[in-house]
């Protein structure tokens, strides 16, 4: 199950993402926002990030206007490796090389067709088996313990 979180800047694009997830039968847990009114993205993204970190959700898709705010918030959470992606290459490498568990998108940066392609790439790409990538992600995870 994927955790979804957005603010007003990501509200419209998140609607497209939700419809796509429903079409492909991918379950999600929606942390809001639930209206297009202005809200504070840290309030929405932080609980969604914790749900991923604690294993309530397997991964997350967070959207704000640029994707920057939600990615900063997500990466404050121990165990989260959030990747802000603007194309499928980045999403593929974020999964293969970084084992990213949160995808951040900018609702005012990319259009819905590209966003859906990025979402599909993120959800369908496994982490690499290469030792160097596993070693590097372990190094990142060790930082969570400091
Ligand atoms: C909201 O106006 C905007 O600041 C927010 O959506 C996001 O882009 C922040 O990083």
For 83-139, what is each residue's pLDDT tens digit?
Answer: 999 999 999 999 999 999 999 999 999 999 999 999 999 999 999 989 999 999 999
Active centre residues (catalytic): 64, 97
Query: Closest Cα partner for 108 from 58, 44, 41?
Result: 41
Ligand 1 within 6 A of CB of 3:
no
β partners of residue 64:
106
Q: How confident is the model at residue 145 (pLDDT cuts 50, 70, 90)?
A: confident
Helix, strand, coil fractions of the chain, as percent rounded to 5: 50, 15, 35
Mean pLDDT of the chain: 98
Whether omega before 135 lies within 30 degrees of 0, making that bond cis, reads no
Q: pTM surpassing 0.95? A: yes
Alpha-carbon distance of 103 to 85, in angstroms, equals 7
Beta strands in the chain (DSSP E): 2-6, 28-30, 59-64, 82-84, 102-106
Give which of 124, 107, 90 is closest to 15, Cα–Cα: 107
**23-73, pLDDT tens digit by residue?**
999 999 999 999 999 999 999 999 999 999 999 999 999 999 999 999 999
Assess whether the C-beta atom of 68 lies below 6 angstroms from ligand 1. yes
Ligand 1: atom nearest CA of 72 is 10
């Amino acid at each position: 199950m994927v955790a979804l979180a957005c603010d007003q800047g990501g509200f419209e694009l998140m609607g497209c993402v939700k419809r796509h997830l429903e079409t492909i039968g991918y379950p999600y847990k929606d942390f809001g926002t639930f209206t297009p009114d202005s809200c504070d993205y840290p309030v929405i993204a932080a609980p969604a990030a914790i749900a991923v970190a604690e294993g309530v959700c397997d991964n997350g898709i967070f959207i704000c206007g640029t994707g920057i705010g939600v990615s900063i918030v997500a990466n404050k959470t121990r165990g989260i490796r959030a990747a802000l992606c603007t194309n499928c290459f980045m999403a593929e490498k974020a999964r293969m090389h970084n084992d990213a568990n949160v995808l951040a998108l900018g609702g005012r940066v990319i259009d819905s067709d590209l966003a859906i392609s990025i979402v599909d790439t993120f959800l369908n790409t496994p982490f690499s088996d290469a030792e160097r990538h596993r070693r590097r992600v372990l190094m990142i995870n060790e930082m969570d313990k400091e």
